[in-house]
Amino acid sequence: MFKLACMLGTTILFIIPSSQNFLEHHKHSGETSTQQTTLTSSPEPKKEDKAFIANVPFFQQLPELKRGCEVTSLAMMLRYAGASVDKMTLASEISYVPFHQNGVYGDPNEGFVGDMSAKFKPGYGVYHKPILKLARKYFPERALDLTGQNIQDIYTLVRLGSPVWVITNVTFKPLDESKFETWKTNSRELKITYYEHSAVIVGYDKDFVYVNDPLATQPNTAVPRTDFEAAWEQMGKQAIALVPK
């Protein structure tokens, strides 16, 4: 069973158009998610622009992690940056919350909902905040929350050599409303879908976005760019990257 998506409020940061501004943000990247750093927005790349990051490690979530797309994708990004970490270590370190307890569902903004690996136990997924917290364990000065940003800002990071962790869905195209349901959690109502998925953007051109998909059998899956962008927005525009050195 796959996991979920939701429309949620997002923390706004502004992407930096130059190495100098990256260094400026680098000083503040240890701030909590309730704090914001105001930076100059980057110029939008032209539609014909393209970029590709070679040699980003590729890991599959299966067979160990039935619902472990988020930590597996994070492992790819962290390993590319030089961290000696794997998906199973991250799966043990991520925060967890109960799938369903006292009449309410767990909140993926607080931790992984339910069980990540057991086929016959209920499980769901996790959103960007717990993933960001985990990324900052390994790179406290570099982990960058891009959630809520324009897709062109995401591509700016890719052009600068930084793979980007994102939440999308397993089809990599926008889902029909019938694929969503509403969960009541302790703090909010969430619009979710069991098609939720995570991958790492490693490149793009005018027609395609290239991702390391932890459910694929090989790296650099080409996804139609228009479909990918619409699906990413539908899932809340969630994204995390590491500030390039």
Structure tokens at 91: 């799966």
Q: Is the pLDDT of residue 192 over 80?
A: yes
pLDDT value, residue 46:
60
Distance CA 68, CA 93 (A): 12
Work out the percent of the chain whose per-residue pLDDT is above 70: 80
Tell me what pLDDT residue 48 has: 56
- Whether 169 shows a pLDDT value over 50: the answer reads yes
pLDDT tier for residue 47 given thresholds of 50, 70 and 90: low
- pLDDT score of 151: 97
**Phi, psi for 240 (deg, rounded to 5):** -140, 140
Q: Give the chain's domains with CATH numbers.
A: 19-242 (3.90.70.10)
Q: What pLDDT is attached to residue 22?
A: 39
Candidates 116, 106, 78, 111; CA nearest to 96 is 111
Residue 190 predicted with pLDDT over 60 = yes
What band does 245 get if pLDDT is binned at 50, 70 and 90? confident
Measured CA distances, 14 to 39, 205, 218 (Å): 5, 23, 33
Chain mean pLDDT for the chain? 86
**Residue 123, token pair as written in the block:** 């499980």
Between 83 and 12, the higher pLDDT residue: 83
Range 37-44 average pLDDT: 42
Mean pLDDT within 177-205: 97
Which of 45-54, 72-81, 136-145, 206-215 is least confident? 45-54
Mean pLDDT of 125-133: 98
Q: 189: helix, coil or strand?
A: strand
Q: Which amino acid type is present at position 104?
A: V
Q: Is the pLDDT of residue 145 over 90?
A: yes
Weakest-pLDDT range from 4-8, 52-56, 60-64: 4-8
CA gap 196, 109 in Å, rounded: 14
Mean pLDDT of the 112-137 span: 97
**What residues does 114 pair with on adjacent strands?**
123
pTM of the full predicted structure?
0.84
